[in-house]
Structure 1
């Protein structure tokens, strides 16, 4: 069988993961994510990605982040009627993410139509998909548990292993021409999706015990960066909260609604219990984060041992305590803008490109008493990246705002492994059959650095994937 692979996204860039495994004249797609970045450019890419679904046998979803699942409804609208394989938790998370995206697109369309009407212009922009499209694609998602081998196409088997990134995230181990009698005749390809980190709260560490791969398609989001030490990060979090409370300011934390929001709640809960920070009102202002937290509660199979101990055996809720309020309605969200600090507002979108975070930033970013805490990766050209990079003035919802609030960077909360952690993971798995590592899902500079780093650590065959270019396996 002639085996090739190519990528339609997340090649020398971070977002829009879409990797294609070609088996003769049939195809399997691994992830179908949306691009994020400059709005016009991202919108064009998301509308115009070119792929013929007629020869597509299966779709495999590694996890439920928007840049990995966000274009599944578009794929279905173009005629794909086959199965989408994901872990049960990923299925539930992806449904939330897609429905939330459809609602945001509908609101954006309504807003832009009104703006165009005021200028006497015709409105042309339409949402990529609707809530009905999301419901339809949800029926195509087939739940596959970790460590359960599943045939997904003729001569192809899939097995998921815990990636430790977000709830339900998985490494996708694909075996082509499986052969129990002679494993040397089969080809094993491992798509990492996003690689998580050891010793993070709530979910388990990335899996190490899996079939030895011949090829690895490996993410490189933090391919040239090291995260803060956890203890230092906790001290920094304590400092920022205490200083903000003294100033009676607000801390705005742009956060991904899945994993990051729950992790922040978990840490803040512990720090208040330990009396390391004062009691301060904490608001999770994101309907999707609220819904995602409910999904966390029904997937204890993904928890690490410590959370299982507290949550299942002692009935302690790690996602709820006295200082915490989950807001869902628009009225509740708007009311936060009128409240005086101190307070902490954890709100989506994580890259500050859509959602309620925009309104909180517009309201609070020009007040020097306030703080914007950056706790994760910000893609190029996003509002979050501009704030992180120290731009003195930013555009929010069509208006310019001076950045007078303090900006605090804390990369220890990232759900992505850094280059040291990725190398440690790689050395921990069975690489006895490994022929080549292909690098995806990273910016060019990060990938070049990580490629050289891997060479220095005993992995000579490493290639950076270029968009659309085919690689023979």
Structure 2
């Protein structure tokens, strides 16, 4: 068995890992790169493998950074099967066409400029019709069922506790009477989250591919996030402002509605309207309502009494149309506006930020990960002015980061999940994390256990056959490689400036950056 890494290498985006045996090729995830402009450019290049040769895509969950390039894979010749849980498949049925619409709108905007300049026009990565066609390749598999894909390869999904339908993937491969097991963590969720189950304990594996989104961080407000949210709402309304919450359409929006419904049921939520201003989130809500069997016991018991109570339903306003969304710009106080995108890089949330970010009386509440280079990250990092729709907007609102709402396990929870293995992996491959967090988590594992820990580079390949690991050097630097490395150095430089580290390290990075610029 060989595995090669085609995304989420020292960055939190673009998850995609190729698993190869003598007769089968499997992708675990096929995600889109998000964040900085340089990372996004990677979505336009060719795959570094032949899509027509891929037999299966094993999809850990529906988030676009894990599923978003499946339509492109189909467009480029994939004819195999995409295997996912039913909730993941249902969520992809709304997320992928929406992503296709976004690609079309983005290219349409760029092509207007290119046409005026007399330059060649671009094609979208894929269209909404490409995305709908890709859904025809999906097949569902429930949790805890071990199935044979071929006579030599078996897989099983376990609940990752990240979002509805999210999975840990177990893969067994037999070659020459030798069986190798690899576990892909997917995105590991926080413990004691509403709606979803806690991450499943995995007892044993030979090799582990593990996410490290928060490898160097602890969530600060896990236990009291509902109370903190209430305090923010109360203080904002006393100032005469609105509470603006950038939230991912899937899971974060539903978590927030659950907590707001609980506050309303307890009679503690101030008089207000709750606007869900995201057609995608509204559609996701409908999928959640028919997926109750996947909820944890607490949420199942509270579903009708709290989440569907008449009181909260009277407060919630679902705004599907653009006209309804625009009217929210006139609302000055006592409104909670939950809108996408979660990182503020696109969608209706940018309009709500434009009309509230400059107001001292309003509050902006972040409840999820903000990737480097995104508008959300700029605001969290303390920029005094940000650019929205071509206009400089002052950041005067109160800014909050309730990372206890995050769908990702923090460092403590990641270690706890790893510790639960009765037979630890021989080797670990860390992915889906920023370099600093990965390095910290790698050192923690090395201090505690006698094992090998890798931080793969983009396109790096490892041969896992017969219990021996051989690393293949990365061939060549392609233009895609250079753009990827360039983007990561830019992000690193940005972090160094903000933390005021020694100038010598910055100088060395500048020299490296200069050499890459010359190569480009």
TM-score range (shorter-chain normalised) is over 0.9
Q: 1:440 — aligned with what?
A: 431
- In 2, the alpha carbon distance for the partners of 1:467 and 1:321 equals 47
For the 8 Å contact 2:203–2:420, the answer to whether it is kept is: no
Label 1:357 to 1:222 Cα distance change in 2 as closer, same or farther (>3 A). Answer: same
- In 1, the alpha carbon distance for the partners of 2:144 and 2:381 equals 41
Q: 2:34 — aligned with what?
A: 36
Q: 2:205 — aligned with what?
A: 213
Are positions 1:255 and 2:253 aligned together? Answer: no
Q: 2:391 — aligned with what?
A: 399
1:56-455 correspondence to structure 2 within 5 Å = 56-114=54-112, 124-177=121-174, 185-208=178-201, 210=202, 212-311=204-303, 317=308, 321-430=313-422, 432=423, 434-455=425-446
Q: Which of these residues, 15, 18, 24, is aligned with residue 17 of structure 1?
A: 15
Q: Deviations over 1:16-74 (max 9, x none)?
A: 00111121364210000000012354134444442212321211000000100000000
Tell me by how many angstroms 1:298 deviates.
1.2
- In 1, the alpha carbon distance for the partners of 2:253 and 2:5 equals 30
Label 1:157 to 1:455 Cα distance change in 2 as closer, same or farther (>3 A). Answer: same
Tell me by how many angstroms 1:154 deviates.
4.5
Q: 2:490 — aligned with what?
A: none
- In 2, the alpha carbon distance for the partners of 1:330 and 1:121 equals 32
Label 1:33 to 1:409 Cα distance change in 2 as closer, same or farther (>3 A). Answer: same
For the 8 Å contact 1:57–1:153, the answer to whether it is kept is: no
- In 2, the alpha carbon distance for the partners of 1:211 and 1:153 equals 24
Label 1:202 to 1:100 Cα distance change in 2 as closer, same or farther (>3 A). Answer: same
Q: 1:27 — aligned with what?
A: 25
Q: 1:4 — aligned with what?
A: 2
Tell me by how many angstroms 1:459 deviates.
5.2
Q: Deviations over 1:152-177 (max 9, x none)?
A: 24411110000000000000100112
Label 1:109 to 1:388 Cα distance change in 2 as closer, same or farther (>3 A). Answer: same
Q: What secondary structure, in the 3-state scheme, does the structure 1 residue paired with 2:318 have? A: strand
- In 2, the alpha carbon distance for the partners of 1:149 and 1:39 equals 40
Q: Which moved more, 1:297-306 or 1:43-52?
A: 43-52
For the 8 Å contact 1:157–1:178, the answer to whether it is kept is: no
Q: What secondary structure, in the 3-state scheme, does the structure 1 residue paired with 2:181 have? A: strand
- In 2, the alpha carbon distance for the partners of 1:31 and 1:23 equals 17
Tell me by how many angstroms 1:217 deviates.
0.3
More helix by share: 2
- In 1, the alpha carbon distance for the partners of 2:104 and 2:59 equals 25
Q: TM-score, normalised by structure 1?
A: 0.93
Label 1:389 to 1:315 Cα distance change in 2 as closer, same or farther (>3 A). Answer: closer
For the 8 Å contact 1:280–1:344, the answer to whether it is kept is: yes
- In 1, the alpha carbon distance for the partners of 2:323 and 2:150 equals 49
- In 2, the alpha carbon distance for the partners of 1:28 and 1:175 equals 12
- In 2, the alpha carbon distance for the partners of 1:285 and 1:238 equals 20
- In 2, the alpha carbon distance for the partners of 1:176 and 1:41 equals 33
Q: 2:498 — aligned with what?
A: none
For the 8 Å contact 1:250–1:342, the answer to whether it is kept is: yes
For the 8 Å contact 2:58–2:83, the answer to whether it is kept is: yes
For the 8 Å contact 2:33–2:42, the answer to whether it is kept is: no
- Cα root mean square deviation, aligned: 2.1
For the 8 Å contact 2:273–2:315, the answer to whether it is kept is: yes
Tell me by how many angstroms 1:454 deviates.
1.6
- In 1, the alpha carbon distance for the partners of 2:314 and 2:420 equals 41
For the 8 Å contact 1:202–1:303, the answer to whether it is kept is: yes
Q: 1:52 — aligned with what?
A: 50
For the 8 Å contact 1:370–1:405, the answer to whether it is kept is: yes
- In 2, the alpha carbon distance for the partners of 1:401 and 1:116 equals 27
Tell me by how many angstroms 1:5 deviates.
1.0
Label 1:139 to 1:232 Cα distance change in 2 as closer, same or farther (>3 A). Answer: same
Label 1:393 to 1:136 Cα distance change in 2 as closer, same or farther (>3 A). Answer: same
- In 2, the alpha carbon distance for the partners of 1:191 and 1:403 equals 40
For the 8 Å contact 1:156–1:178, the answer to whether it is kept is: no
Tell me by how many angstroms 1:315 deviates.
8.8
Unpaired segments ≥5 residues, structure 2: 465-520
For the 8 Å contact 1:64–1:90, the answer to whether it is kept is: yes
Tell me by how many angstroms 1:252 deviates.
1.1
- In 2, the alpha carbon distance for the partners of 1:206 and 1:250 equals 35
Label 1:369 to 1:49 Cα distance change in 2 as closer, same or farther (>3 A). Answer: farther
Label 1:116 to 1:470 Cα distance change in 2 as closer, same or farther (>3 A). Answer: closer
